[in-house]
Structure 1
Amino acid sequence: MQEISFRNDILPLKDKLFRVALRITFDRAEAEDVVQDTMIRVWNKRDEWSQLESIEAYCLTVCRNLAIDRSQKMEAQNESLTPELEQKAIASGPYDQLVNEERMKLIHQLINELPEKQRVIMQLRDIEGESYKEISEVLQLTEEQVKVNLFRARQKIKQRYTDIENYGL
């Protein structure tokens, strides 16, 4: 087991933890608070770090649980998540850029409408690039359940997007 350093191993997870918390709480200030609380809890458990298989999975689990607790207490509103981290496609003109922005807004809206479990799995897999194994540890599911939920989430978004694009539904 290698020595785990708060500065080198845990602090770099801050942005990833924020994005996960934001997907659950839909509130920037709440997500920032969740990340801060996560860091404090992880620091307070520093004596147990050497026993953990993955410090990242542990941090994500703590973050997810805190975010769920906070969002349940606040009865989080379904605000749209701003696509601030999206790389904008290089558009050939203002019209193309506007179309791309509208499509991204629609995709974010569709992601935000997913059930919480599917939304978090999509965030961790498609945006954060986590492995199925890490996601299954964080969410306490089997890898097969993670794959099934991710498939269903992607299918639901694809179907809704197609319906809206083709039929305006």
Structure 2
Amino acid sequence: MLSFRNDILPLKDKLFRLALRITMQREDAEDVVQETMIKLWSRRESLDTVGNLEAFAITVCRNTALDHVKRAASGTVSLDEGMTLREGSVNPYDKIYAQESLRHVNSLMLQLPEKQRACMHLRDFEGKNYREIADIMQMTEDQVKVNIFRARKAIKSKMSNCQ
């Protein structure tokens, strides 16, 4: 039997990070996660047939976030709200430099096509393997690899042009 507390609620952080990457607004991402969890819980009887609940939840969240963005059709904000650095950096200059670099990478990711941005997020920020990303994005593993390669190449190119 599916339990909200044990099966669905633990996915909220991963869903939030994905929703935030797509919506680019904390409040919208929270709404998307809440809507996703409601959708999942309302379908709890049929979720027993789902092979991978996490992949299914991420797919629902991704589609919900994309629908939300299409409906809103508004500008975006920086992702750096609430993000902090690792504790290893003590020097204030290093912290400021790292925060600026993070803002720059986030702004470059905003310029990527949606598929590239989503694939890169799932791989580099969520730690998913190619097979999992292919299942979530409903594409082949080769397509996932190509999208990640192109996304990384575009970001590296734009970063080197700025230096």
TM-score scaled by length of structure 2: 0.92
The residue type paired with residue 54 of structure 2 is: E
Partner in structure 2 of residue 20 of structure 1: 18
**Alignment correspondent of 2:55:** 57
For 1:87, what is the secondary structure of its paired residue?
A: coil
- The 8 Å contact of residues 14 and 35 in structure 1, kept in 2 or not, is answered as yes
Give distance in 2, aligned partners of 1:61 and 1:115. Answer: 18
Question: Given the alignment, which residue of 79, 99, 103 partners 1:81?
Answer: 79
Shift of 1:94: 2.4
Identity percentage of aligned residues: 47
The aligned counterpart of 1:98 is 96
Structure 1 gaps, min length 5: none
Q: Which residue of 1 aligns with 2:133?
A: 135
1:126 alignment counterpart? 124
Which of 33, 36, 42 is the equivalent residue of 1:35?
A: 33
Gaps of 5+ in 2: none
Once the two structures are TM-superposed, the CA of residue 11 in structure 1 deviates from its matched residue by 0.8
Is the CA contact (8 Å cut-off) linking 2:19 and 2:62 kept in structure 1? yes
Aligned to 2:148: 150
Query: Aligned pair in 2 of structure 1 residues 92, 19: CA closer, same or farther (>3 Å)?
Result: closer
Change (3 A) 1:89 1:161: farther
Q: Distance in 2 between the 1:114 and 1:25 partners?
A: 14
| Count of aligned positions | 163
Instruction: Encode CA deviations 1:69-114: one digit per residue, 9 max, x unaligned.
Output: 1100111313221164453363353223222222121111111221
Separation (CA, whole Å) in 2 of partners of 1:27 and 1:70: 11
Q: Are residues 52 and 157 of structure 1, via their aligned partners in 2, closer, same or farther at CA, if it must alter by over 3 Å?
A: same
1:40 deviates by 0.8
